[in-house]
Amino acid sequence: MSLLRFLPRFLLVAIWIVVGLLSVGLIYPMASGRLRACMNRRWSRMLMCLCGIRVTVSGQPRLHGPVMLVANHVSWVDIFVLNGVRPTAFVAKSDIRGWPVIGWLVAGAGTVFIERGQRHAVRAAGEALRQRFLAGEAVGLFPEGTTSPGYDVQPFHASLFEAAIQAGADIQPVALRFFHRGRRSDYFSFVGEQNLMQNLWCLLGTRGARVEVVFLEPMDGERCRRDGRAKVAAHAHHAIRQAVVARRAAD
């Protein structure tokens, strides 16, 4: 890690985040849905560029119409990596709303927050997601419910799959794989007792960060309705885990 690399990157990222906050506060309320989506995508791509993250995309992402993108969860950057491909409203635990800067940004970008362990909160979030699907939007879900080092995939919580199933939306599994200097790595994973500043130090102070985004075969809405949320969640978990673990074995 290099302080000389960290400081200018941190300054540029801070400036870009201020630009994002001003956009969310001043432009978003007056902008059309198409303009907000364009701003979200371009802003997210530039953020990843300023962080020194090279993003490579494979597979066939659903770029139009209602879809639930279901992905493994490694870091706070996952949201912005996926937003750089298609603007997406994410489901996130409610305490993220209180995070300095990142929480404000994701809230302004339309994140649906949910309180853990509250059944009424799950129902309310499900209704909010249903409205997003009816509007033709993409919704992002990290069904592990927490982050991991990225070498494997933890069990999925199936409850929030129901919103996509009831709305008849397609569900597309997405595998995220992190690399550092050409090798699979957990160096950038946001896990354990690490705080955001410590994670930024790891990310901005080094080079060779890369994220592979693998869009896997989507499950169409009719199939999901027939199979039910438990089977759909199990299928998505298997597909993502196969992509995450198989590639690690090959590296």
Question: Taking the mean position of all CA atoms in its chain, how far away is CA 214?
Answer: 13
**Is 3-250 in CATH node 3.40.1130?**
yes
Q: Which residues of 240-251 are buried (b: 16+ CB within 10 A; e: fewer)?
A: bbebbeeeeeee
Q: Reduce the DSSP state of residue 140 to 3 states and report it.
A: strand
Task: For residue 136, count other CB atoms closer than 10 A to its CB.
Answer: 12
Instruction: For residue range 94-141, list pLDDT tens digits in order.
Output: 777 777 777 777 777 778 887 766 666 677 777 888 889 998 999 999
Instruction: For residue range 149-198, list pLDDT tens digits in order.
Output: 999 999 999 988 998 999 999 999 999 999 999 999 999 999 988 888 99
Its pTM stands at 0.91
Q: Phi first, then psi: give them for residue 124, nearest 5 degrees.
A: -65, -40
Structure tokens at 134: 């009816």
